[in-house]
Amino acid sequence: MVVLSVLIAMLPKIGRHQRTGKILLKEAGLWLEETGPPEPVIVGDLPRLTYYAGGKHIASLSYPTIVHNVRKYNADFLILRDYEENAPIINSLGPPEWSLFCRYPKEDSPGRERGVLIYRPREKMPKRPSRISGKHSESADE
């Protein structure tokens, strides 16, 4: 009886976590649709995010598949969940070098769960206007 009452008390929290995750993926996808290129090729394991971004999803569920598909499909983005164990994937990709395009939700979003990391090849990063000359910079890392 006690176990049943504890389970019943936990049900709203379990459902809320799943909804929050889906909402986060939708928000990130819509943000990417607004800020990224049209119909981007996205490698990762988050098809819901790709759907909202209006992109082409290349399913990649394992480390070797991700590395292979990023190169094979000339991906515009690599999207990973924000877990430390995903760091070696980025380090192994090699040329073209990848840069963090966005961490979603933004770091200043209080109380939000871990989100997603959106990486982009350095060569496809948008060029930013130089603060001094008004010309576009050669590197996105300035």
Please report the domains of the chain, with CATH numbers, ordered by start residue: 38-142 (3.40.190)
- Residue 76: what pLDDT? 94
pLDDT band at 43 (very low <50, low <70, confident <90, very high): very high
What residue type is assigned to position 94 of the chain?
G
Alpha helices by DSSP H, the chain: 2-35, 47-53, 63-72, 87-92
Model confidence, pTM: 0.68
Distances in whole angstroms, Cα of residue 19 to Cα of each of 10, 16, 25, 58:
15, 5, 10, 24
pLDDT band at 142 (very low <50, low <70, confident <90, very high): very low
pLDDT band at 58 (very low <50, low <70, confident <90, very high): very high
Q: Which of 106, 90, 119 is nearest to 24 (CA)?
A: 106
